[in-house]
Structure 1
Amino acid sequence: MNRFSLEGKRVVVTGAAGILGQVFCRELLDSGAHVVAIDAQQAALDALREQLPSDRLEVHCADIRERAQIAEIRASLMARHGRIDGLLNNAATKSPNFFEPFETFPLEDWDHVMSVNLKGAMVCCQEFGAVMAEQGHGSVVNVLSIYGIAAPDQRIYEGSEYLGRTINTPAVYSASKAGLWGLTHYLSSYWGQRNVRVNALTPGGIQSGQNQTFTDRYSQRVPMGRMGQADDLVGALVYLMSDASSYVTGQNIVVDGGLTAW
């Protein structure tokens, strides 16, 4: 079981103050890691620091699309710690017109979502992953979505809401997550001989504010009969970030209650 320990590892987490990010940071801390939490919202980071009081948690407000900001964090980490052991690319975003139909979806919204979900992950892989390749060890985990590997069932969205707002899954979200899966595959091969493992963690639908209509319809599509909880993902995350998965790379662990089995 010691192989699952993250004791002493320095792990960078993007989107750290979001719904999943908070849970991921908590679990990484509980497993012994020193967590470097990056998010674009300072107020959310302040709340995260209050929620997770630990001298092994440091927070940085930054835009992951801006190389200069990420490079500054990387340089600071190396100056203080001398190494980076893990990167969790968890950040994702919506846009002002995120739920517009595909036929009228604005290009500026497409570019905005792609710039965070895919470009931002690429920048972080360049800055933090390159350090790990130079060291000769490390683990990158990219958070995908079932809708990056399978199409959403449009039938579940009639009458569905999230925090009182009508929802769907737009094409840009699927495309950005599919692109991140492609980047995962590529980098697993590119850095394989340098002992940097690059894998994906794919959540199914996570309960976080959907109305009962959506919850019921989605759950009917799932063999286990329910939506996921954020805590359902943490075992796979610790496995992929730890030495327990030392010979695992280029893989995608899908935590969806069996949705994609049907």
Structure 2
Amino acid sequence: MMPSYRRLFELDGRVAVVTGGLGILGRHFCRALAEFGAHVVVADVDGEAAEALATQLAAAYRVDCLGLACDVSEEASVEALVARVVERFGRIDVLHNNAASKSPDLAAFFAPAEEYALEEWRRIMAVNLDGVFLVARTVGRQMIAQGHGGSIIHTGSIYGHLGSDPAIYEGSEYLGVAINTPPVYAASKAGVAGLARYLATLWAGHGIRVNTLVPGGVASGQNAEFQRRYAARIPMKRMGEAEELTGALIYLASDASRYVTGQTLFVDGGLSAW
């Protein structure tokens, strides 16, 4: 009998948790997982909006979805999230550690490195790195107890691996605020990839795979000048679109990548190939 390669990508009946599920990328990730058959848990700080998206997904894709409030920087909130998911579904098969913070104070977030406030650094790290660890630790413990493995995907960033080109940011703005690549963002995303490699080797014996999905720049409120300058640095000469990341996620979540762990998958239009 010929094998079915298409079935390698199917997620029918699997339970997938997405943190930061309401974000620019998060909504696309949740939809893609649901379309491929997963029961999706939309986790975000806004529980009401998470419930609304889960209801939409369930109706559109005929899967069982759940929306839950979760602050990934708070240990008790993460523990409650995992307990609620297990109570509802009995298991967790896929974790997409996608939550990240830009900070409510954009001026502080985009402050020059020489003037960056330690308070702001710690606020961002609490979500971008501490939160990734807390969720991975808690879900990993659950996956080990289940005894049938699982897939954990971290959302990284090109700036966790590459230096930032200051020329891109001349005249560039995000929602009306002058922007750059904040040092805390680069450091936190580098930490995310390092943590993924560590957990990949630590938990491989339990059948748990851990990988990092690294997006390139995606249009999300930057002004035209930024988009022009950024596109000029990309071999494909354009910014990415959110939906272009979903194929890589499905690959990493599914059995199509069952022999892939500890890897960093760039979806960046070729930027990292320069």
Identify whether the pair has TM-score above 0.5, normalized to the shorter chain: yes
Query: 1:197-251 deviations in whole A, cap 9, x for unaligned?
Result: 0000000000122111111110010001100000110000000000111100000
Deviates more, 1:73-82 or 1:168-177: 73-82
For 2:191 and 2:54, locate their aligned partners in 1 and report how far apart those are by CA, in whole Å: 32
The unaligned stretches of length 5 or more in structure 2 are 1-5
Where in structure 2 are the equivalents of 1:131-210 lying within 5 Å?
Answer: 131-134=142-145, 135-210=147-222
Q: Residue 111 of structure 2 aligns to a residue in which SS?
A: coil
Structure 1 spans left out of the alignment, 5+ residues:
none
TM-score normalized with structure 2 length: 0.92
- Give 1:33 deviation, angstroms: 0.4
Q: Deviations over 1:41-75 (max 9, x none)?
A: 23542553465353522111111122222212212
Q: Which runs of 4+ in 1 moved over 6 A?
A: none
Q: Equivalent residue for 1:119?
A: 130
Calculate the TM-score normalised by the size of structure 1. 0.96
Q: What is aligned with 1:88?
A: 96
Distance in 2 of aligned mates of 1:44 and 1:259: 34
- Contact preservation (8 Å) 2:175, 2:221: yes
- Using the alignment, how far apart are the partners of 2:81 and 2:202 within structure 1? 24
> Quick one: which amino acid aligns to residue 207 of structure 2?
N
The one-letter code of the counterpart of 1:34 is H
Q: Distance in 1 between matches of 2:154 and 2:120?
A: 22
SS of the residue corresponding to residue 35 of structure 1 reads strand
The one-character-per-residue Cα deviations of 1:108-161 (angstroms, maximum 9, x if unpaired) are 000010010000011101111111122231000000000001011111101001
Alignment of 1:1-262 (within 5 A): 1-42=6-47, 44-49=49-54, 51-54=56-59, 56-95=64-103, 96=105, 97-134=108-145, 135-262=147-274
User: Sequence identity of aligned pairs in percent?
Assistant: 50
Amino acid at match of 2:208: V
C-alpha RMSD over aligned residues? 1.3
Number of equivalent positions: 262
